[in-house]
Amino acid sequence: KPCLAVNIGGIQMKNPVTTASGTFGFGPEYSPYVDINRLGAIVVKGTTLEPRQGNPTPRMAETPAGILNSIGLQNPGADQLIQKTAPYFAGLEIPVIVNIAGNTVEEYAQLAGKLDGVAGIAGLEVNISCPNVKKGGMAFGGDPFTAAEVTRAVKAATQLPVMVKLSPNVTDIGAIARAVEEAGADALSLINTLLGMAIDVRKRKPVLANVMGGLSGPAVKPVAVRAVWQVYRAVQLPIIGMGGICSWEDALEFILAGASAVAVGTANFINPRATLDVLEGIERYLLEQQIEDINELIGAAHSA
Ligand code: DOR
């Protein structure tokens, strides 16, 4: 049997398949469809210090190309995560990575400190790339200096492995990746959603209450593969690749471009078993191609 294990900045995963934050809830939502312990890890919904209601509705819209969302980081807050949800994480056999966001650098750091040492939390994914909030998210992920500032503050506040989630809505993702690497990040996640919008022709107004939102799904896959390719060349850090992964072939494109692991997002909404379909397809491919270790494939398209 081929070896599927990968290491993401100190987080050991038995296989490279994980979930994209916000598309898999906190895990239990998918347990009727997926034996969660078969995945390499799960990345759970974005969490902030205080509970948040999120943006006004409508805040989700399906388009033929993918899903637009402007959720605005709706979540029950850190205390609820620690008290009610982390005990469930602790009962899983796989690492759980919590996506964190804040309005200020101090909030990111405070939240990171609060989650440090909580049983069941194996790592943090720092969200500096949400396109749907005014204060957090893109306000930090849009340039190398602020991206590095948040990274340094979070690293100083926790012992947990820290991965930083980057945005495609920038001109030089390589420069941001380098700044985040220098600031001490252990890994990178990319990409978050691509800023977009849709207009209802009968109402003659934008579909989303917030006008713009983040596009996810198959439409963004070539953008995401390109971003992974560029970042792989810019830094040494392991990359979790995501953006429109629906099939095992999609996942392999990301791995060949340089991702050490892959996250399935929007596809979970269409096919709740998508993560396992991707995993099983990767396993079959390795057997068929007689590749003994998945690590041989990471970034392999660069030397072809
Ligand atoms: O597309 C996104 N939507 N990306 C995020 O990081 C957060 C989420 C939201 O809550 O708006």
Tell me which of 57, 69, 128, 242 to substitute to probe ligand 1's pocket, judged by most ligand atoms within 8 Å of the beta carbon: 69
How large is the ipTM? 0.99
3-state SS class at 45? strand
Cis, peptide link before residue 206, omega less than 30° from 0: no
Tell me phi and psi for residue 234, to 5 degrees.
-90, -30
Distances (CA, A) of 11 to 8, 75, 92, 178: 5, 25, 15, 21
Tell me, what DSSP letter sits at residue 50?
S
Please report, in tens digits, the pLDDT of each residue of the chain (304 residues total): 999 999 999 999 999 999 999 999 999 999 999 999 999 999 999 999 999 999 999 999 999 989 999 999 999 999 999 999 999 999 999 999 999 999 999 999 999 999 999 999 999 999 999 999 988 888 899 999 999 999 999 999 999 999 999 999 999 999 999 999 999 999 999 999 999 999 999 999 999 999 999 999 999 999 999 999 999 999 999 999 999 999 999 999 999 999 999 999 999 999 999 999 999 999 999 999 999 999 999 999 999 7
Question: Domain-by-domain residue ranges, the chain?
Answer: 6-55+72-197+215-302
Tell me which of 55, 189, 193 to substitute to probe ligand 1's pocket, judged by most ligand atoms within 8 Å of the beta carbon: 193
Burial category of 177 from C-beta neighbours within 10 Å (exposed 0-12, middle 13-18, buried 19 and up): buried
Ligand 1 centroid vs 78 CA: distance in angstroms? 17
CATH class of 6-55+72-197+215-302: alpha beta
